[in-house]
Amino acid sequence: MEYGAATRGALLAAAPLYGARRSRLPLSPPPSPPSIQIQNRLYSMSSLPLKARGVRRCEASLASDYTKASEVADLDWENLGFGIVQTDYMYITKCGQDGNFSEGEMIPFGPIALNPSSGVLNYGQGLFEGLKAYRTTDDSILLFRPEENALRMRTGAERMCMPAPSVEQFVDAVKQTVLANKRWVPPTGKGSLYIRPLLMGSGAVLGLAPAPEYTFIIFVSPVGNYFKEGLAPINLIVEDKFHRATPGGTGSVKTIGNYASVLMAQKIAKEKGYSDVLYLDAVHKKYLEEVSSCNIFVVKGNVISTPAVKGTILPGITRKSIIDVALSKGFQVEERLVSVEELLEADEVFCTGTAVVVSPVGSITYQGKRVEYAGNKGVGVVSQQLYTSLTSLQMGQAEDWLGWTVQLS
């Protein structure tokens, strides 16, 4: 379901039944369905709640620093990679045993105090999200479907026995954090501001149990391309020994432990010269699941197939968006079991994710056999078309009739 800012496309991306074929979207905007409304508040620079850390930093000093936030940061925007850049402010709020989060505040970006016996450190009780903000040619800032990240965090929090901010508080916090760090949003076409919401069990706990206190934080960093190749083919190896997730586990939620478990296979793959790893299902060991942090799509003729979200695969927001864009372009999209044999016989393969957006796959290596797509010399036609369509929406270069973007002033 779509909520909030995605008012006009709400019913387009409802999850299909397992193995279902997605119907084609109309090429003109559909009628507006009922939805939960997210208040699209506009903030002035002086209206955000700011708090100085420590008694030595006075409000006047912090206000002076914040005024400078309207200036553009001095970075080498032409060579911006995907890594952490320390920005000005981060958002923080806490929740006690009553399940209610306090009104959040903006504090200077920096280390946080955490009890050694906190739930997140001892038992991995933590979730994160990822989304982006883009600067348009008229210098406004656009968010892309932030309410979807809020809903996914709430789903993950329920699985991890954690309270979560409401959709409204999540989206509001994202807006505040981006505006507080506006000078770090890259110029148009030079990258994006990556937004990282974190929800963690910060309360002290010794025995295995949910933490008594939770902290919700949002920090940001300007980023360029996730893969060093940029919008160029990446080379994947199919992993048939290690597995990312198992049925009944937490593969479908964005919990922190899911990512630590892929580091070994990824490290081995990169040492061999591959860009990343593609995982198979843990039961039959022949059906595609995910790349380490991306969803996978296989193209054959006019049919685009992607593994169905069935409990072991993260329901990616970019994945969901690409499906709708592909349908609007006249492609047939199937969400189902996709075998590794189909992968090797495909016309084209690509990955999707918040960090990569769309990343074409130049080659797949499976059990020593290497298969190349499009001669490994360029971007596939479908990948290029979908990448251009989606990024045009995200950056405000095309009409957003689906209502996916949220503009900040």
94 part of the active site: no
Mean pLDDT of 138-145: 95
In the set 132, 182, 254, 320, the catalytic residue is: 254
- Of the candidates 15, 43, 311, the residue with the CA atom closest to the CA atom of residue 148: 15
CA pair distance 254, 3, nearest whole angstrom: 20
- Of the candidates 252, 316, 257, 294, the residue with the CA atom closest to the CA atom of residue 126: 257
What is 234-398's CATH number? 3.20.10.10
Lowest average pLDDT, out of 29-38, 72-81, 217-226, 400-409, goes to 29-38
Burial class (CB in 10 A: 0-12, 13-18, 19+), 16: middle
Mean pLDDT of 275-295: 96
- Of the candidates 269, 279, 283, the residue with the CA atom closest to the CA atom of residue 343: 279
Mean pLDDT of the chain: 85
Q: What is the pTM of this model?
A: 0.83
CA pair distance 403, 299, nearest whole angstrom: 27
| Range list for CATH 3.30.470.10 in the chain | 89-224
CATH 3.30.470.10 correct for 89-224: yes
CA pair distance 121, 301, nearest whole angstrom: 48
Token pair of 259 as six digits:
């990512």
CA pair distance 92, 219, nearest whole angstrom: 9
- Alpha carbon of 69 to those of 65, 86, 294: distances in Å? 7, 13, 33
Q: What is the pLDDT of residues 307-336, one digit of tens each?
A: 999 999 999 999 999 999 999 999 999 999
| SS3 of residue 128 by DSSP | strand
CA pair distance 191, 77, nearest whole angstrom: 8
Alpha helices (H) along 138-277: 146-159, 167-180, 257-260, 263-271
